[in-house]
A and B are shown apart, each in its own frame.
Chain A
Amino acid sequence: MIGKNRRKLITASAVIAAGSMLLAAAPAQALEQGITTSSIKLGITIPMTGIASPGYSKIPGAMKAYFDYVNANGGVNGRKITLVVKDDQYIPTLAVAKANELIFKDKVFALIGTLGTASTKAISRSLQLSARGIPSLFVNTGYSGFADKKLYPTSFSILPSYQMEAKVIGKYLDENFAGKKVGLIYQDDDFGVDALNGFKQAGVDFAVKIPYASGSQGVAGVAGTWITKLQAAAPDVVVLFGVSSATAAALGNAYAYKYAPKWILGSVGGDATTLTANKVPAAFLAGSKGLSFAPAPSDSTDPYIAMFMDVNEKYNKNAPFDNNIVAGMTSAFLAVQAIKAAGPNLTRKSLIAAIEKSSATFANPALTPLGFSSTSHVGATGYWIGTYDATGSLKPDGGKYTVYTTDSGTGAVVVSTYKRPAMPAKGLPN
C-alpha cells in the first residue's frame, strides 16, 4: 500500500518537475498585442467619408494593396500584415473613439497613417500613445509639432516640415527670380507660421503677403479679394502655400479674373487631381511650379512607381493612380522596411528603435534622405521642384529630379547628392 502511494508520489513529482521545466523553457516574454508568430495587425483611422475624404480615402486601399503583395510573397520575417481601417470623417472626437477601438478592441500592434493635425494630436494625447509606448507610424500631416520628440516620442512623420519646404522655395526664388516681385498666400495658423519662419530664414522679401483664415477659402467672394490684392501689388511670381481647397480657390478665381503670374504651388495644395476636380483647368495649371519628395506618379521609369503601378493593378482593382496611391504605398513600404529591420523578435520598442537607428539604410521611394534619428522624427528632408504639364501632371524639369535638402533650423539649402538605395528585388524590403 505504502509502496503504491510512494510510487504515485514519485510519478506526480516527476510530472510536476517536467511540467515546470517545460514552462521554464517556454519563451520568457509573451508576444506583444497585435502580433503572433505569423501575423502583425496594424490600424489606421482616416476620413473615408465626409468633407476631407476626397483623395485621402484612397490611402488605406493603397496601403492594403502593398501589404497584400508582401503577404503573397511570404510576409515580413514570416509574419503577414493585416490592416484594420476605420473612418473618422476628419472629426477629432471620432478619431479618438476609432483609435480606441483599434487599440483596445481590434488590439492592433501599432497605428499607421492617421490623417489631420487636430485628429492626430487628439489621438496621441487622449490615448497617451507615449506612456503606452504605442508606435504611430508615418502620420499624414506636415505640422512641425509632431517632430517634437519630447511630446510625441512614438510618432513619426514622413512629410518634410513646412519650414524645410519654405526654405527650398526661397532658394528657388533666389536662383530664378532674383530682383523680381514675389507674392504669397498662406494659411493664418501653425501651418503658415512654420512657412513664414522658413521664408524669413531664406531671406525672401515679399511684395505682398495675404494670410487667410482656415475655412475662409470656402466663403463666397473671399478668394476673389486675394486676386484683387495680388493684381494691385502686381508681383511677378506668387507662392500659394495653402491646403488644396485654398489653392484651388485662388487658381479658380485667378482664371476667372484672367490673372496669370508665375505660380509656385506648395506641396500641401499641389495635388493636380484634386485641383482639376475643383474647377481649375489643367491648361491654366500648366507651366506652374510644384514640389514633391516622392517620384512623380506619372514617372513609370522610376522602379518604385512601376512596381506600385503593378501592385495597384493586381491588388487594388487598378484604382486611378495618383499622389494618394503613391503616398499610401510609400508609407506601407517604409512600414514593412522598418518591421523587417526590427528583426524577428518584434516589439513596439524594437520597432521604434529600428527606425531611429537604421533609417539611413532603409530602401524607400523618397528621393530625399530620410532624417529619422534619435533626435528627430521627421522623415523626408527636402523636395524636388518641377513643372505641371498640359495634362496637369507634375514633371521634373529637364526630365531629371534635382533634389534640394535642408533642415528645419538654420541649415543651408543644398542640392542633394543623396543616392537612393536601389529598390530591393521585386520591391520587397530586405
Chain B
Amino acid sequence: MHKVKASNLTRLIGFVLLGLVLFFVSNRVDELRVYQGASVAMYVVAISSIILLTGYSGQVSLGHGALLAVGGYGAALVRNEFNAPVWLCFAAAVLLAALWGALLGATAARLSGPYLAGTTLALAVGLPSIANQFKFLGGEQGLIFDIGLPPASLGEFFSQYKWFFWIAALTALIAMWWLQNLLRSRYGRTWRAVRSQSVAAELAGINLARSKILAFTVSAGLAGLAGALLSMSISTVSPGAFPLSLSFALATGAVLSGVTTLGGVIIGAVTLVAIPEVADTLTQSIGASENVIANLPGLMVSGLLIVAVLFVPNGPVEQLKHRQKR
C-alpha cells in the first residue's frame, strides 16, 4: 500500500483542528478539568523538551526541573519589573532558559551517559536554592507571577482557569507545531544521525559538539517555556515549586510517552496529571490508611515506569507503528 506522507500544510491544519476541538471542550467541562488541562499542556511542552534531548540527540538529563525554574523566574521577573504582556514574558523565559541551556550544553557536550546524568542531577538539586542567595529572587517565598484577569470582552463568567488553559494550550500547540517541523528539518536529521552513530555522523562532516550544544539549547528553551506555564498556573514562582521529584516525574513522563518519538507525548502528560487523582479515588474507595494514601501515587508512577520499560521500551506509539509494519 502506498504510504501517504502528511505534508506541512495538512499537519498545520491538523494542529488548528486540534486547537478548535480543545476550544470547544474547554467550554464544556468544569473548572477542575480545565485546570488539569492547563497542567497537561505544561507537561506536553516539558516532556517534549526531554524527548528532543534524549530521544533525538541522545543526551540524558535528570535535571530538567532546574531549567523549568530558570524559565519560571525569567517570566516572573519580566512581568514584575516591566509589566510586560504575557507573550513577552514567555519569550523571555524561552530566551533565558535557552541561554542557560547553551552554557550547560557546552559542558554537557564533553560528557555522556551517567556522567551527564549526574551533572544535570546536581543542577536540579543546586539551582533552585540559588534563589535564596539573591534578594531580587524573593528567597524561599519566591515571586508573584500574576498574568492578570482574563480580558473583560470574554464576559463576566469567564474563569481564570479557563484563561490559563487557553494560554497554555495555545502555547503548547504552537511549540509542538514548531518542534515537529524542526525535527523534520536538517537539524532533526543531524541530531538523529549523532544519536544513532556518532562516528559515522562525524565522518559525514557533522560537528558533534555543535550539534549537541544546539540540541541542549533548544531543549532548554522549551523547558523554560514549560516553567513559565507552570508558574502561571500557580501564580507564583518559588524554589519549592521545582523539587527533584519534578525532574524525575518529567523523565518518567518521557519514558511513558516513548522517548524516541514526539507522537506519544500526550500520553505521558495525561498520565502525570491523572495519577494523583486515580490514586486518590482508589484509596478513597478502599479506605486505605494515610500512609498508603501518601505513597500510592509515587508507587503507581514507578510501577508504570517499570512496566513501560519492560513491555514498550520505545513507547506505546512506536510499538503500534512497529506492529502495523509487520
Confirm or deny: A101 has a beta carbon within 8 angstroms of a beta carbon on chain B.
yes
Cβ A122 vs Cβ B236 within 8 A: yes
Q: In the complex, what distance in Å separates the CA atom of A126 from the CA atom of B35?
A: 10
Cβ A118 vs Cβ B31 within 8 A: no
B interface footprint on A82-102 (CB within 8 Å = 1, 0 otherwise): 000101011111001100110
Cβ A104 vs Cβ B31 within 8 A: yes
A interface footprint on B238-282 (CB within 8 Å = 1, 0 otherwise): 111101011000000000000000000000000000001100100
Confirm or deny: B30 has a beta carbon within 8 angstroms of a beta carbon on chain A.
yes
Confirm or deny: B233 has a beta carbon within 8 angstroms of a beta carbon on chain A.
yes
A interface footprint on B1-13 (CB within 8 Å = 1, 0 otherwise): 0000000000000
Nearest chain B residue, comparing its CB with the CB of A123: B234
Cβ B129 vs Cβ A49 within 8 A: no
Residues of B95-143 at the interface with A, using a CB-CB cut-off of 8 Å, are 129, 132-133, 138-142
Q: In the complex, what distance in Å separates the CA atom of A91 from the CA atom of B243?
A: 7
Cβ A92 vs Cβ B141 within 8 A: no
What are the residues of chain A within 8 A of B233 when measuring CB–CB? 93, 96, 126
At the interface with chain B, which of A208-216, A350-358, A362-370?
A: A208-216
Cβ A97 vs Cβ B132 within 8 A: no
Nearest chain A residue, comparing its CB with the CB of B159: A128
Cβ B276 vs Cβ A118 within 8 A: no
Cβ B141 vs Cβ A121 within 8 A: yes
What are the residues of chain B within 8 A of A91 when measuring CB–CB? 240-241, 243, 245-246
What are the residues of chain A within 8 A of B241 when measuring CB–CB? 91-93, 118, 122
Confirm or deny: B160 has a beta carbon within 8 angstroms of a beta carbon on chain A.
yes
Cβ A97 vs Cβ B141 within 8 A: no
What are the residues of chain A within 8 A of B142 when measuring CB–CB? 92, 118, 121
Confirm or deny: B32 has a beta carbon within 8 angstroms of a beta carbon on chain A.
yes
Confirm or deny: B293 has a beta carbon within 8 angstroms of a beta carbon on chain A.
yes
Cβ A101 vs Cβ B280 within 8 A: yes
Q: In the complex, what distance in Å separates the CA atom of A105 from the CA atom of B278?
A: 13
Cβ A189 vs Cβ B132 within 8 A: yes
Contact flag A215-B140 (CB < 8 Å), given A49-B294, A85-B290, A118-B240: yes
Q: In the complex, what distance in Å separates the CA atom of A119 from the CA atom of B245?
A: 17
Confirm or deny: A157 has a beta carbon within 8 angstroms of a beta carbon on chain B.
no
Confirm or deny: B144 has a beta carbon within 8 angstroms of a beta carbon on chain A.
yes
What are the residues of chain B within 8 A of A118 when measuring CB–CB? 140-142, 236, 238, 240-241
Cβ B140 vs Cβ A125 within 8 A: no
Confirm or deny: B153 has a beta carbon within 8 angstroms of a beta carbon on chain A.
no
Q: In the complex, what distance in Å separates the CA atom of A125 from the CA atom of B230?
A: 14
What are the residues of chain A within 8 A of B146 when measuring CB–CB? 125
Contact flag A190-B139 (CB < 8 Å), given A93-B230, A101-B32, A104-B31: yes
Confirm or deny: B235 has a beta carbon within 8 angstroms of a beta carbon on chain A.
yes
Nearest chain A residue, comparing its CB with the CB of B235: A125
Cβ A49 vs Cβ B234 within 8 A: no
Q: In the complex, what distance in Å separates the CA atom of A48 from the CA atom of B296?
A: 13
Interface size of A in residues (CB-CB distance below 8 Å): 34
Contact flag A214-B230 (CB < 8 Å), given A93-B241, A101-B32, A125-B236: no
Cβ B139 vs Cβ A214 within 8 A: yes
Cβ B294 vs Cβ A92 within 8 A: no
Q: In the complex, what distance in Å separates the CA atom of A216 from the CA atom of B160?
A: 37
Residues of B214-248 at the interface with A, using a CB-CB cut-off of 8 Å, are 230, 233-236, 238-241, 243, 245-246
Confirm or deny: A56 has a beta carbon within 8 angstroms of a beta carbon on chain B.
no
Nearest chain A residue, comparing its CB with the CB of B236: A122
The listed residue (A48, A87, A122, A213) touching B133 by CB distance below 8 A is A213
Confirm or deny: B295 has a beta carbon within 8 angstroms of a beta carbon on chain A.
yes
Nearest chain B residue, comparing its CB with the CB of A192: B139
Confirm or deny: B39 has a beta carbon within 8 angstroms of a beta carbon on chain A.
yes
The listed residue (A90, A116, A126) touching B234 by CB distance below 8 A is A126
The listed residue (A48, A117, A122, A189) touching B290 by CB distance below 8 A is A48
Nearest chain B residue, comparing its CB with the CB of A128: B160
The listed residue (A93, A116, A125, A216) touching B144 by CB distance below 8 A is A125
Cβ A104 vs Cβ B32 within 8 A: yes
Cβ A101 vs Cβ B277 within 8 A: yes
The listed residue (B39, B132, B230) touching A216 by CB distance below 8 A is B132
What are the residues of chain A within 8 A of B280 when measuring CB–CB? 101
What are the residues of chain B within 8 A of A313 when measuring CB–CB? none
Contact flag A117-B140 (CB < 8 Å), given A85-B290, A92-B236, A126-B234: yes
The listed residue (B32, B129, B277) touching A215 by CB distance below 8 A is B129
Q: Tell me, rounded to whole Å, the shortest Cβ–Cβ distance linking B28 to chain A.
A: 15
Cβ A122 vs Cβ B30 within 8 A: no
Q: In the complex, what distance in Å separates the CA atom of A126 from the CA atom of B236?
A: 8
Confirm or deny: A143 has a beta carbon within 8 angstroms of a beta carbon on chain B.
yes
Confirm or deny: A302 has a beta carbon within 8 angstroms of a beta carbon on chain B.
no
Nearest chain A residue, comparing its CB with the CB of B42: A93
What are the residues of chain B within 8 A of A214 when measuring CB–CB? 132, 139-140
What are the residues of chain A within 8 A of B234 when measuring CB–CB? 92-93, 96, 122, 125-126
Q: In the complex, what distance in Å separates the CA atom of A370 from the CA atom of B123?
A: 46
A interface footprint on B149-193 (CB within 8 Å = 1, 0 otherwise): 000000000001000000000000000000000000000000000
Nearest chain A residue, comparing its CB with the CB of B293: A87
Residues of A94-151 at the interface with B, using a CB-CB cut-off of 8 Å, are 96-97, 100-101, 104-105, 116-119, 121-122, 125-126, 128, 131, 143
Contact flag A213-B139 (CB < 8 Å), given A118-B240, A121-B236, A126-B235: yes
> Mind listing 24 A-B residue pairs with CB under 8 Å?
A48-B294, A49-B294, A85-B290, A91-B241, A91-B243, A91-B246, A96-B234, A97-B276, A100-B35, A104-B35, A105-B32, A118-B140, A121-B142, A122-B234, A125-B235, A126-B234, A126-B235, A128-B160, A188-B139, A189-B139, A189-B141, A213-B132, A213-B133, A215-B129
6 other contacts beyond A122-B236, A126-B236, with CB at 8 A cut-off?
A97-B35, A101-B277, A118-B240, A143-B141, A215-B132, A216-B132
Q: Which residues does B use to contact A, with CB under 8 Å?
A: 30-32, 35, 39, 129, 132-133, 138-142, 144, 146, 160, 230, 233-236, 238-241, 243, 245-246, 276-277, 280, 290, 293-295
Q: Which residues does A use to contact B, with CB under 8 Å?
A: 48-49, 61, 85, 87, 89-93, 96-97, 100-101, 104-105, 116-119, 121-122, 125-126, 128, 131, 143, 188-190, 213-216
- 8 tightest A-B contacts by CB? A189-B139, A125-B235, A104-B32, A118-B238, A214-B140, A49-B294, A213-B132, A126-B235
